[in-house]
Amino acid sequence: MAPFKTLDDLPADARVLARLDLNSPIEEGRPRDNRRFTRHAATVRELAERGHPVVCLAHQGRPGNDDFVSLKGHAELLASHVGREVAFVADTHGAAAHEAIEALGPGEILLLENVRMSDDELPEADPETKAETEFVRSLAPYFDAYVNDAYSAAHRAHASLVGFPRVLPAYAGRVMEAEYEANTAIATREFDGQVTMIIGGTKATDVIDVMDALEGKVDRFLLGGVAGELFLRAAGYPVGHDLKWMDLFDDQWERTHETVETLLEERGDEIELAVDLAYEDETGDRTEIDVDDVEEKTTAYLDVGSATVDAYEPVIRDSAAVFLKGALGVFEDERFADGTVGVLETIADTDCFSVIGGGDTSRAIGLYGLDEGDFSHVSIAGGAYIRALTGEPLPAVEELQRDA
Ligand SMILES: Nc1ncnc2c1ncn2[C@@H]1O[C@H](COP(=O)(O)OP(=O)(O)O)[C@@H](O)[C@H]1O
Ligand SMILES: O=C(OP(=O)(O)O)[C@H](O)COP(=O)(O)O
């Protein structure tokens, strides 16, 4: 049985309130185009083509931060992906919002203002409390159905995510369905062979917790990025040097070194560390060094080296499933993309079940001309992906399951 109702179960003509996750990097006040728009546009288009009036909810940034902006630019970008007009009203649940919702005809789309501009959206609370907020109580009567497509925000118990499914029939959108299925695979599927997890990126504290939680579920871990250097440091190599303007290593080392040391000691045979690293030399070129030749902690390493990519390749080729979280290097700079692109190319070249996770990391696929279709799933979720990998429940998904 499907764990929740989907768009296939949605009654014809239902007036739909759809929660999307359009949270994006903001440049000069406008959202930078990214996969979240393409993916959610497909759900919205399907709803509009079936003749539902579609009112969308989404958030952007957090109050007090520079990226906490209006969704006006998001409506324009969403429209370009849907291929239909997306109206916008600068109101979350007041009279202007109600008027615009009432005026909406079949197949028409409206995006309301950033839900976090309503005091009722945050903070986190249980679903009953969120369902009683003015935000939920005033909007719900305008709709017949609530569709949650915002898998990547499903770890937040906010009003737009857990309140509405208590008062409206609730359905999973297409993005929600696909993300749920792929991201819970480590916890829910049996693979006929080795399961490998490639760990990198800057959020070392998070990914190290994942490694700790995945005991018995993953056979091999291949490490790179900041997390990889913390493991190398624990293995006695003087790496993990913080550049003056970044505090990536020392702070995370303080928080993780005990777990890292225990993991190396107890499960060291599952963990592969980089054998060489790359840095920017005095002339600005990429230079590689064997980890055994590193003498002092004075250099910032920005990628794993080519011998590491060669060593990781057969492990990937021997795997039935590969899950990736975080980049192996600073791939945004072409000189330091080899590690990330190298492992992605190998995964793309195999038939294994593969999930590429992390909003930043998955950008490497488009930047370096890889084909998204060569992976089983490219996730648009960060925090929710990590939680799903470890089997931790997501409050907004639980509400969909409860309603089913
Ligand atoms: N050695 C490194 N030093 C600094 N940054 C790194 C290093 N390796 C990888 N990164 C950075 O990690 C980022 C991606 O990781 P992160 O933000 O944790 O993951 P996510 O993909 O989940 O958003 C990339 O933007 C990349 O530049
Ligand atoms: O972008 C998001 O999370 P992610 O960066 O972990 O993928 C979600 O939109 C959640 O946003 P939040 O972390 O401000 O609650």
Q: Which stretch of 6-10, 181-185, 265-269 has the lowest confidence by average pLDDT?
A: 181-185
Residues 156 and 221 in one domain: no
Residue whose CA is at the smallest distance from ligand 1 atom 9: 329
The rounded Å distance from CA 329 to ligand 1 centre is 6
Strand intervals (E) in 105-225:
109-112, 145-148, 170-172, 194-199, 220-223
Domain holding 286: CATH number?
Answer: 3.40.50.1260
Q: Which ligand 1 atom is nearest residue 333's CA?
A: 27
- Ligand 1 centre distance from Cα of residue 298 (Å): 20
Is residue 246 scored above 80 in pLDDT?
no
Which of 19, 20, 23, 162 to probe ligand 2 with, by most ligand atoms within 8 A of CB? 23
Backbone angles phi, psi at 195, to 5 degrees: -105, 125
Ligand 2 atom closest to 62 (CA): 14
**173 plus 200 within the same structural domain:** no
What's the total number of domains in the chain? Answer: 2
- Over range 195-206, report the average pLDDT: 94
CA distance 307 to 69: 44
DSSP element (H, E) containing 131: helix 127-131
Binding residues for substrate: 21-23, 36, 59-62, 116, 156
Rounded to whole angstroms, the Cα distance separating 80 from 227 reads: 38
The per-residue pLDDT for 148 is 98
Q: Are residues 134 and 209 in the same domain?
A: no
In a domain, 381, yes or no: no
Q: How far is the CA of 263 from the centre of ligand 2 (A)?
A: 28
Ligand at minimal distance from the CA of 124 is 2
Query: How many Cα atoms within 13 Å fall on the side-chain side of residue 266?
Result: 10
pLDDT band at 2 (very low <50, low <70, confident <90, very high): low
pLDDT at 338: 98
**Minimum-distance ligand 1 atom for the alpha carbon of 229:** 1
CA 330 to centroid of ligand 1, rounded, Å = 6
> Which pair of structure tokens corresponds to residue 139?
């909007």
Same domain as 190, residue 323: yes
Is the Cα dihedral 205, 274, 262, 323 positive or negative? positive
Residues at the binding site for ATP are 332, 358-361
Q: Report residue 253 as tokens.
A: 């080392």
Averaged pLDDT for residues 96-125 = 98
Q: Are residue 212 and residue 335 in the same domain, yes or no?
A: yes
Ligand 2 atom nearest 61 alpha carbon: 14
**Among residues 72, 15, 74, 76, which one has the least CA distance to residue 47?**
15
Token pair listed for 39: 């993916």
Mutate which of 361, 365, 367 to test ligand 1's pocket (most atoms within 8 Å of Cβ)? 361
Average pLDDT over residues 284-304: 96
Pocket residues for ligand 1 (CB within 6 Å)?
200-203, 225-226, 248, 301-302, 326-327, 329-330, 332, 358-361, 382
- What is the C-alpha to C-alpha distance for residues 43 and 172, in angstroms, rounded to an integer? 10
Q: How far is the CA of 8 from the centre of ligand 1 (A)?
A: 38
Residue 21: CB within 6 Å of ligand 2? yes
Q: What pLDDT was estimated at residue 243?
A: 79
- 176 falls within a domain: yes
Is 245 part of any domain?
Answer: yes
Please indicate, yes or no, if residue 386 is contained in any of the structural domains.
no
Residue of the nearest CA to atom 10 in ligand 2?
A: 153
User: How high is the mean pLDDT of the chain?
Assistant: 95
Do 108 and 234 share a structural domain? no
Instruction: Tell me 159's DSSP state.
Output: I
Please compute the mean of the pLDDT values over residues 1-17 and round it to a whole number: 92
Task: Please state whether 352 falls in left (phi above 0), alpha (psi between -120 and 50) or beta.
Answer: beta
The residue written with tokens 């370096």 in the block is 368
The pTM of this model reads 0.93
Question: How wide is the angle at C-alpha 300 spanned by C-alphas 212 and 200, nearest 5°?
Answer: 30
Asked whether residue 385 is domain-assigned, the answer is no
Whole domain around residue 152: which residue ranges?
Answer: 7-180+394-403
Q: pLDDT digits over 390-402, tens only?
A: 888 999 999 999 9
Centre of ligand 1 from the C-alpha of residue 65, in Å: 21
Q: Judge if 34 and 117 occupy the same domain.
A: yes
Contact 199, 340 (CB under 8 A): no
Look at residue 376 and tell me if it is in a domain: no
Residue 94: how many other CB atoms lie within 10 Å: 15
To 5 degrees, how large is the angle CA 261–CA 206–CA 310? 70
> Do 216 and 164 share a domain, yes or no?
no
Q: Is residue 2 part of a domain?
A: no
Q: How confident is the model at residue 64 (pLDDT cuts 50, 70, 90)?
A: very high
Q: Are residues 241 and 365 in the same domain?
A: yes
* pLDDT over 90 at 47, yes or no: yes
- Assess whether pLDDT exceeds 60 at residue 291: yes
Q: With beta carbons less than 8 A apart as the criterion, state whether 330 and 339 touch.
A: no
- Whether 106 and 53 have beta carbons less than 8 Å apart is answered as yes
Asked if residue 72 and residue 29 are part of one domain, the reply reads yes
* Residue 230 located in a structural domain: yes
Least confident residue range of 190-204, 244-258, 314-328: 244-258
Residue whose CB lies within 8 A of the most ligand 1 atoms, among 35, 323, 360, for a mutation test: 360
d(CA 208, CA 11) in angstroms, rounded, equals 44
Token couple for 238: 């003087």
Q: Is the dihedral of CA 263, 264, 269, 273 positive or negative?
A: positive
The percentage of the chain sitting over the pLDDT mark of 70, rounded to a whole number, equals 100
172 with 253, same domain: the answer is no
Longest CA–CA separation in the chain, Å = 69
- Asked whether residue 279 falls in the same domain as residue 221, the answer is yes
Q: How confident is the model at residue 359 (pLDDT cuts 50, 70, 90)?
A: confident
HSE-up of residue 31 (Cα within 13 Å, Cβ side): 26
- Atom 5 of ligand 2, residue of closest alpha carbon: 382
